[in-house]
Amino acid sequence: MTNQPTSVLVGVCTAQRPKMLRACLESLARQVVPEHVALRFVVVDNEPEPNNRAAVEAMAADFPFPLAYEHEPRRGIPQARNRVLEHALSAGVEWIAFIDDDEIAERDWLSQLVRATEKFDCDVVQGQVYQFISEYGPSKENSKRRGPEGTVRQSAATDNVLFNIRLVRESGLNLRFDEKLALSGGSDMVFSRKAHELGAKIIYSPAPVVYERLTADRLTARAIARRAFSRHINVYRRNRPAGGNGAASVYAIYKISRAVVSVFASVLNMLEALLVLPFARKHSRRRLKNGITKFVKLPATIAAVCGFRYDRYGKISGE
């Protein structure tokens, strides 16, 4: 196949973060894209009432690209993402991009995503995300992903992604985000993993860059532990063998044993965090985060083995 995107819809799902949404849309308004690409946007408001309609429609009046508003009152991230997919099918676009409402994009973000699809002749491009603390402003110090351009992946998150409409068309792979994972997270990874299993080519490129804003309430030890707990459960459920109980039991024993090792590693990380705190606060913060993430792996794995699912998105952080 030869990929040269000519029409792209960018979806932004939002709930209870009007300031972040505005900053996100302001960055998207500055996008510079190749002349052959027709670009349009949609905001899906995932609040019970259409509280963001007025703000989005006011921005749409002066937005340099078509900007639509959709209201999805059913609570859940996959529900909102699926509304983006339906909007894309109705609009007749060839490609769909996603960015989170707590992120801001570089001016060439979309053009770099498009360039990667053309360069690697792929179905999905996963871009880079740099996290930054609100008070310090965007920087490229803390990246979420590693790897050279063109690395083939088995899954992709929707925090910075572009994929071909054939993944969702009825005549294609006919995929949707799993709405049973409404508040637990991970529906994007399940979606893209299925696409990979059905033959879609997913590549990573560090060139399409967005910045994720971390507010103070996301930097506490409790918040870090909650995110890690949920992520470990989702990873376990996603990779658990299907079929016979024997394979599932072996997998459970293996994951629990690995989690026990992680507890010891977490203690070393947290001791290092305390030792370097007076001299290197940022390094100490990273070691502490790693330590907490590893420490909760054991209880999270046991919870996953017992069939527990944690709805980490029941409470929305940000502003």
Distance between alpha carbon 171 and the CA centroid of its chain, in Å?
26
Query: Alpha-carbon distance 271 to 148, whole Å?
Result: 32
Q: What is the pLDDT of residue 160?
A: 98
User: Could you tell me which residues are beta bridge partners of residue 42?
Assistant: 11, 68
- Whole-model pTM above 0.85? yes
* Euclidean distance between CA atoms 260 and 292, whole angstroms: 14
**Strand 67-71 to 38-45 pairing:** parallel
Mapped to the 3 state alphabet, what secondary structure does the chain carry? CCCCCCEEEEEEEECCCHHHHHHHHHHHHCCCCCCCCEEEEEEEECCCCCCCHHHHHHHHCCCCCCEEEEECCCCCHHHHHHHHHHHHHHHCCCEEEEECCCEEECCCHHHHHHHHHHHHCCCEEEEEEEEEECCCCCCCCCECCCCCCCEEECCCCCCEEEEEHHHCCCCCCCCCCCHHHCCCCCHHHHHHHHHHHCCCCEEEEEEEEEEEEECHHHCCHHHHHHHHHHHHHHHHHHHCCCCCHHHHHHHHHHHHHHHHHHHHHHHHHHHHHHHHCCCCHHHHHHHHHHHHHHHCHHHHHHHHHCCCCCCHHHCCCCC
Give the list of residues 6+ apart from residue 216 with CB closer than 8 angstroms, or none.
134
Distance CA 28, CA 56 (A): 13
d(CA 130, CA 123): 23
CB contact at 8 A, 98 and 11: yes
Q: Which two tokens stand for residue 293?
A: 């993430």
In the prediction, which pLDDT does 121 show?
96
Give the residues of the chain that fall short of pLDDT 70.
Answer: 1-4, 243-244
pLDDT of residue 4: 63
pLDDT digits (tens, 9 = 90+) for 51-102: 999 999 999 999 999 999 999 999 999 999 999 999 999 999 999 999 999 9
Residue of 111, 114, 149 whose CA lies nearest to 128: 149
Mention every residue, 6+ apart, whose C-beta is less than 8 A from residue 238. Answer: 186, 189, 190, 193
The pLDDT of residue 55: 97
